[in-house]
Chain A
Amino acid sequence: MDLKLPDIDYAALAPILVLFGASLVGVLVEAFIPRKRRHLTQLVLGLLALTGALVAVVLNAQDRVVTAGGAVAVDGPTLFLQGAIVVLAGMALMLIGERSVQRGGAFVAHAAVTVGSPEDQRQAADEGGATEVYPLTLFAVSGMLLFVAANDLLTMFIALEAFSLPLYLLCALARRRRLLSQESALKYFLLGSYASAFFLFGMALVYGFTVGAGGTGSGGGVDFGTIRTAVTDSAASEVLLFAGLALLSIGLLFKIAAAPFHVWTPDVYQGAPTPITGFMAACTKVAAFGGLLRVLHVAFSGASWDFTPVLGAIAVLTMLVGAILAVTQTDIKRLLAYSSVANAGYLLVGALVLSKDGLSSTMFYLVAYGFTVLAAFGVVTLVRDADGEATHLSRWAGLGRRSPLYAGLFTFLLLAFAGIPLTSGFTSKFAVFGAALDAGQSWLVIAGVLTSMILAFPYLRVVVMMWLSEPGESTPTVSLPGGLTAAALMIGVVATLVLGVAPAPLLDLANGAAEFVR
């Protein structure tokens, strides 16, 4: 059999390769470095690897290539989103690496120990957290980088699994409330596999469609170029195409947490260790939308008239569900989870606009939201009492009195979520809605604005609670953050402010990057 190896542009793949390499080194560190020194080694290794990946992304800035036999496309959106993922992952890694807020960090030392056993109590008391989280995080990040670059459905699927599996594990590693954490991991795993099955089945149907479209003998394919040609030119039965596209989108919509595929989100966000929740809310969202954007813009743009109404309805439903359910939440992490669902709806509005504007505004939104949400979860890690984080909202009453600085920062972040001007939340919503209006999708914008109004209520409720309620006996104090959390928090808040006041540079960057290679 004549097997020809495809050409591989290693430079273009460098960001992914650096991170894969670093994760493997991380595994070796686990094996060979003494336990005491692992934490620091892993943290430095992780940050170095992310820096290296960022440098590689910057060096590749002008690349517009399809490589690895058509499996990977390195183009403007890829590089922009890879850069975004790497930067946000860096922030998340700082939160993950924080050990001064809580003894031993946010992660359990031995995840396999039975919850509540004497051994568990001992490890909760004095053992440093598992350092496996670092290689796992790096694996997830490299999977995400591949996911946004994937140029065929198979590669995309591999990347999806590559970043999902570490996430399932990471969710189970909380030091406190371990049962909740393990439950969330299991739920995430089960439902994630379930959604993956939809994705796979969709891929099979689309393959079937391309085979039919190409006529007998020419064979089909799952790379986006082939699908694109088939969608535009084919006279074959489109039932296969649309059933396939529907199932594919379900796989992706699950990851971006669009209704009604969002059901896992609140439980998982609540149960997972907070740094991991932040990581998922920021990076997973970027990656999942990156994949969705490429699928819609590159492979199926010829069918946009057919999928826009359906996906638009999903966007509206997502915004509504996120906004309405956020109203009655009593746990800050669940509140942020529903807010993340609603934001997925807003992002979907942008993703459905198949123009340059739609693409660039969605990418801008992803970055802006990522910074804000990571900073918000950063604050959540700080508000704690003897039992760990105090996430019940009633415990946040009067926080403004106890610690005006962090309550002030959190208020600012909530205002950004609510889309108040001078924050990135305003500019990004403005960009996305503007693009949607230009594309004639005013119904999506109307739904977006109405749900933003609803959504402002839960945010402002927290603000009112923090500032206007008397601090009760049970109001926890805010721990002084260690340097890492403080840095992450600072980056997030400053980015939220800067992108709100002077968004032009990043918007220009997104605009310059907003073209897929096809």
Chain B
Amino acid sequence: MEHSVEYAHATGLLGSVWLLVAIPLVSAAILLLLGRRADRWGHWLGVASVGAIFVLGLSYFFSLRGLENRSVELSLWDFIAVGDLHVDFGLLFDPLAAVFVLLITGVGFLIHLYAVGYMSHDAGRRKFFGFFNLFVAAMLLLVLGNNYVMLYVGWEGVGLASYLLISFWQDRPSAATAGKKAFLMNRVGDAGLAIAIFIMFATLGSTQFADVFNGAGALQSGTVLAIGLLLLLGAAGKSGQFPLQAWLPDAMEGPTPVSALIHAATMVTAGVYLIARSNPIFSLDPTLQTVVVSVGALTLLMGCIIGAAKDDIKRVLAWSTVSQIGYMFLGVGLGGGAYALAIIHLLAHGFFKANMFLGAGSVMHGMQDQVDIRRFGGLAKYMKITWITFGLGWLAIIGMWPFSGFFTKEPIIVEAFARGDWTAWLYGGAALLGAGLTAFYMTRLFVLTFHGPKRWTEDIAHPHESPLIMTVPLILLGLGSVVAGGLMATPVASWLTPVLGHGEHHEPVLSHTVITVLSLGLTVLGAGLAWLLFRNGTALVEQPAGPVVRAARRNLYTDAFNEAVFEKPGIFLTRALVFLDNRGIDGLVNALAAAVGGGSGRLRRLQTGFVRSYAMSILTGAVLVVAAFLAVQLGWLA
């Protein structure tokens, strides 16, 4: 063990960290329980509660900065105490949790504000804000828990909120189906996380972060590998990583603020948080890290390729989220200093992706909920603010200098090239290729939406810019997309060092400059290519295409794969089990039941109602009892 993990007790202002979870939870309860009575002011309560915890989060952040040991624990009460299992209802506020708190509450506040405008015509706005607050509370619990069980509670909480919000318009069959799909695929990952927690308890006797991290070094390597892989399964489920990525694009059926907050900025990064938080476990086993890196690299390429073939503005953004989280997984998988890089990319991504989703929402708001980018075009003139802010997000995500993506993505590519053996070429190459592809499909999205000829449906005459309450968050997030990366890169890395540690540093196989030049070059190439191809618009319907594009349109056949490998055998297995249950188990149970019933019917006849037969029965019983007593007694003597 390099260093042992110790947490100080929270004192002073930090003793009230629990308010971060409590305030949005109470607000959610009020919104959901008061019903229609809260319709008129409910959304403002929702916004205010998140605003309040953002301010609180800032003040906690500054008091944490003033401390020597910047990891403080707050044990509220004994959550579960059964036998040897003791789980605190405890919170941990450390640099890692602090940046997540700021991201969730800061971006969350802006998106809440935006949603007031976006949902203004929706009858269910109060319910929406109730669920939204519930999500914020659960997400904060997830990042603030000081043990894996608390994390799991938050984890399930965000899963629930996500399900409720994806199927928010539950009268649309597609939304209801998408909600179920997300819920089911998440269960697969959640089961992995749960089993990992069980193993921790079985082998270490505790689920507290401190105990687990200090004890993990003494575990057998197989156990560490098992825990790590199961945690990774959980992380992949929540973060839409291979092989559990299919639910995330479908989740775009929810209202756009949901896509922005939950399925872009915060919840889907919970997997990255889980791995970063568990870094003492992942750092123990190189195999484990290789698996994480592979998942990340594979997913980031998949996301790019599929994203390039989609025509639904939110789905393109969703696949880009999948791909960007792939970068983050790549980062946390590389270990060492790259943990911090992944977190920084996560923060920057939170800004620019939320910005772009809200921008997409603004476009849809003006275009009568049209989502097909083939039916946009030329919107730059009509929606200036949306155009500019979206453009800033676009430049940020493709990693153009000096926008934030450049400062956060490029170091990850460099780290990938610094793996110290031949795999550097593999993963570094993948990351580099991903950068080029990202530039291509994001430019395609941008150009088709805002430039080129108008390809609108007939019913749209004058698309309008969104109201102020929606554009102000856009502007703020747009600013964030420009500066966040550059501002955060160095200070956040050193801020996170106490949690994530330093790693040994290899020199990259190519020089730093070469990599930078290559990645910028690929980016410009990809963007330029897309600009040339799409500046004159595109066909209004799907065109026949080569095998790669066809595959990408069908999500690289992953859905077909899921159907063939899991769904069909699953259905078959279910049928077989139903058959076994009906014929075998039910048969046995029914036979037993029939035996009991028959016995009962026969015994009933002994209950004749005649006192004489009752007395006879008592007498027989008495004789038997006396005989039995004596038999036991005589047997004892003999």
Point out the residue from B599, B611, B632 that lies within 8 Å of A187, measured CB to CB: B611
Known: A250-B622, A306-B636. A239 touches B628 (CB 8 A): no
Could you say which residues of chain B place their CB within 8 Å of the CB of A321? 603
Known: A246-B626, A313-B628, A314-B625. A328 touches B618 (CB 8 A): no
A191 touches B614 (CB 8 A): yes
Q: How would you classify the secondary structure of chain A's contact residues: helix, strand, loop or mixed?
A: helix
Point out the residue from B596, B599, B601, B607 that lies within 8 Å of A263, measured CB to CB: B607
Known: A324-B600, A325-B603. A264 touches B614 (CB 8 A): yes
Q: Which of B565-616 contact A (CB under 8 A)?
A: 593, 596-597, 599-601, 603-604, 607, 609, 611, 613-615
CB distance from B444 to the nearest CB of A (A): 57
A310 touches B629 (CB 8 A): yes
B600 touches A328 (CB 8 A): yes
B625 touches A187 (CB 8 A): no
Whether, in the assembled complex, A438 has its beta carbon less than 8 Å from a beta carbon of chain B, the answer is no
Point out the residue from A242, A250, A263 that lies within 8 Å of B617, measured CB to CB: A263
Could you say which residues of chain B place their CB within 8 Å of the CB of A314? 625
CB nearest neighbor in B for A241: B633
A267 touches B609 (CB 8 A): yes
CB distance from B135 to the nearest CB of A (A): 29
Whether, in the assembled complex, B630 has its beta carbon less than 8 Å from a beta carbon of chain A, the answer is yes
Could you say which residues of chain A place their CB within 8 Å of the CB of B124? none
CA distance A310 to B622 in the complex (A): 12
CB distance from B603 to the nearest CB of A (A): 6
Whether, in the assembled complex, B35 has its beta carbon less than 8 Å from a beta carbon of chain A, the answer is no
Known: A187-B611, A194-B615. A261 touches B621 (CB 8 A): yes
Could you say which residues of chain A place their CB within 8 Å of the CB of B613? 263
A260 touches B621 (CB 8 A): yes
Whether, in the assembled complex, A162 has its beta carbon less than 8 Å from a beta carbon of chain B, the answer is no
Whether, in the assembled complex, A269 has its beta carbon less than 8 Å from a beta carbon of chain B, the answer is no
B629 touches A261 (CB 8 A): no
Known: A246-B626, A250-B621, A309-B632. A191 touches B615 (CB 8 A): yes
CA distance A242 to B599 in the complex (A): 33
CA distance A305 to B629 in the complex (A): 11
B597 touches A191 (CB 8 A): no
B618 touches A194 (CB 8 A): yes
CB distance from A57 to the nearest CB of B (A): 34
Could you say which residues of chain B place their CB within 8 Å of the CB of A260? 617-618, 620-621
B611 touches A327 (CB 8 A): no
CA distance A313 to B624 in the complex (A): 11
CA distance A39 to B411 in the complex (A): 91
CA distance A187 to B603 in the complex (A): 20
Whether, in the assembled complex, A28 has its beta carbon less than 8 Å from a beta carbon of chain B, the answer is no
CB nearest neighbor in A for B597: A327
B629 touches A325 (CB 8 A): no
CB distance from B601 to the nearest CB of A (A): 5
CB distance from B613 to the nearest CB of A (A): 8
B597 touches A310 (CB 8 A): no
> Interface readout for B192-209 with A: 1 if CB under 8 Å, 0 if not?
000000000000000000
Could you say which residues of chain A place their CB within 8 Å of the CB of B633? 238-239, 242, 306
B629 touches A242 (CB 8 A): yes
> Interface readout for A242-279 with B: 1 if CB under 8 Å, 0 if not?
11011101100010000111011011000000000000
B628 touches A457 (CB 8 A): no
Point out the residue from B599, B609, B611, B625 that lies within 8 Å of A310, measured CB to CB: B625
CA distance A187 to B633 in the complex (A): 34
A245 touches B617 (CB 8 A): no
Known: A250-B621, A267-B609. A190 touches B615 (CB 8 A): yes
A328 touches B601 (CB 8 A): yes
Could you say which residues of chain A place their CB within 8 Å of the CB of B626? 242-243, 246-247
B625 touches A191 (CB 8 A): no
Could you say which residues of chain B place their CB within 8 Å of the CB of A84? none
Kindly state the interface size class of chain B when it binds its partner: 20 to 34
Could you say which residues of chain B place their CB within 8 Å of the CB of A454? 596
A328 touches B629 (CB 8 A): no
CA distance A186 to B610 in the complex (A): 11
CA distance A187 to B613 in the complex (A): 11
Could you say which residues of chain A place their CB within 8 Å of the CB of B622? 198, 246-247, 250
B632 touches A306 (CB 8 A): yes
B628 touches A266 (CB 8 A): no
Whether, in the assembled complex, A71 has its beta carbon less than 8 Å from a beta carbon of chain B, the answer is no
CA distance A267 to B620 in the complex (A): 20
CB nearest neighbor in A for B618: A261
Could you say which residues of chain A place their CB within 8 Å of the CB of B597? 327-328
Whether, in the assembled complex, A195 has its beta carbon less than 8 Å from a beta carbon of chain B, the answer is yes
CB distance from B190 to the nearest CB of A (A): 24
CB distance from B616 to the nearest CB of A (A): 9
Could you say which residues of chain B place their CB within 8 Å of the CB of A327? 596-597, 600
CB distance from B92 to the nearest CB of A (A): 31
CB distance from A311 to the nearest CB of B (A): 9
B636 touches A328 (CB 8 A): no
Known: A261-B618, A264-B614, A457-B593. A250 touches B600 (CB 8 A): no
CB nearest neighbor in A for B599: A324
Could you say which residues of chain A place their CB within 8 Å of the CB of B630? 239, 242-243, 246
> Interface readout for A298-338 with B: 1 if CB under 8 Å, 0 if not?
00000001110110011000000100111110000000000
CB nearest neighbor in A for B593: A457
> Interface readout for B280-321 with A: 1 if CB under 8 Å, 0 if not?
000000000000000000000000000000000000000000
Could you say which residues of chain A place their CB within 8 Å of the CB of B603? 321, 324-325
> Interface readout for B353-390 with A: 1 if CB under 8 Å, 0 if not?
00000000000000000000000000000000000000
Could you say which residues of chain B place their CB within 8 Å of the CB of A259? 621
CA distance A259 to B625 in the complex (A): 11
CA distance A309 to B600 in the complex (A): 25
Q: Which of A75-108 contact B (CB under 8 A)?
A: none
Point out the residue from B601, B607, B611 that lies within 8 Å of A190, measured CB to CB: B611
Known: A263-B618, A324-B603, A325-B604. A306 touches B611 (CB 8 A): no
CB nearest neighbor in B for A190: B611
CA distance A266 to B606 in the complex (A): 12
CA distance A479 to B587 in the complex (A): 42
B615 touches A310 (CB 8 A): no
CA distance A307 to B632 in the complex (A): 8
A246 touches B600 (CB 8 A): no
B604 touches A243 (CB 8 A): no
Q: Give the most central of B596, B601, B636: most A CB within 10 Å.
A: B596
Could you say which residues of chain B place their CB within 8 Å of the CB of A261? 618, 621
For this complex, 18 residue pairs linking A to B, each with C-beta atoms less than 8 Å apart, are A191-B614, A198-B622, A239-B633, A249-B625, A260-B617, A263-B617, A267-B607, A306-B636, A309-B628, A309-B632, A310-B625, A310-B629, A310-B632, A313-B628, A325-B603, A325-B604, A325-B607, A328-B600
Using A250-B625, A306-B629 as known contacts, list a sample of 13 further A-B pairs with CB atoms less than 8 Å apart, ordered by residue number in A: A186-B611, A191-B614, A191-B615, A198-B622, A242-B629, A247-B622, A260-B620, A261-B618, A305-B636, A306-B632, A309-B628, A313-B628, A454-B596
Chain B interface (Cβ < 8 Å from any Cβ of A): 593, 596-597, 599-601, 603-604, 607, 609, 611, 613-615, 617-618, 620-622, 625-626, 628-630, 632-633, 636
User: Closest 6 interchain pairs by CB?
Assistant: A260-B621, A263-B614, A328-B600, A327-B600, A242-B629, A246-B626
